[in-house]
Amino acid sequence: MYEVSGSLILVVEHSCSFRSVLCQFLQDKGYAVCEASSGKEAIEVFDRESPKMVLMGAVMPAEDGISNLDACRRIREIDRDEYSPVLIITSVDDDAWVVAAFEAGAADYIVKPIHWLRLEYIIRFKLQDYKTAYAVQASEERFRQLFEDSPLPYQALNEQGCIVDVNAAWLEMMGMETEQVLGKSFGVWPHPIR
């Protein structure tokens, strides 16, 4: 289950002292913490630990050619549940950088000097948003499984009354194939019901 309180947060920052301050702040707020000092290490730790959020410094040495934005992209690619936001901490606040960060997959950013209360609430709300998204996806997956596996025939219609989905039991009852019915108006059939 997706938990917000006690969530594991990966802190990626090349400055040992600033990384320590961030980790202590998060631990004081009740979060578990793992750390990385470079983009390369961040990817390895993220893959191994599966944290619920990543706080990443914007300026880091590009170890093995991996910048912070490259690391952000790679984290987004390997994110198992796609609900681990990357929050970038930066002293840069220009439009080109903001666009590049969001295009790399960042969920948000915060500008230094850090307003600690703002950071606390961004973390809390981002984790809550992603918890909700995770719950919605899990619910949709459960519904899809029930829909597909049901021995009862089901169809789904759009606002215009056209069929957008059917299960195997419905197809069997109607004696039709999926491609014969999708997009057709409900009640208009090329074949009679068996």
DSSP assignments along 118-163, one per residue: HHHHHHHHHHHHHHHHHHHHHHHHHHHHHHHH-SS--EEE-TTSBE
Q: Measured between alpha carbons, how far is residue 119 from residues 130, 149, 156, 163 in Å? A: 16, 45, 43, 46
Mean pLDDT over 101-113 rounds to 91
Dihedral (CA of 50, 28, 55, 5) sign: positive
pLDDT at residue 11 tops 90: yes
Mean pLDDT over 138-157 rounds to 88
Which pLDDT score, from 0 to 100, does residue 71 have?
92
Mean pLDDT over 42-49 rounds to 94
Q: Which domains, ranges and CATH numbers included, belong to the chain?
A: 8-144 (3.40.50.2300), 151-181 (no CATH)
3-state secondary structure of 37: coil
Mean pLDDT of the chain: 86
Which pLDDT score, from 0 to 100, does residue 93 have?
75
Report whether 71 contacts 40 (CB < 8 A).
yes
pLDDT in tens, 57-77: 887 766 678 888 899 999 989
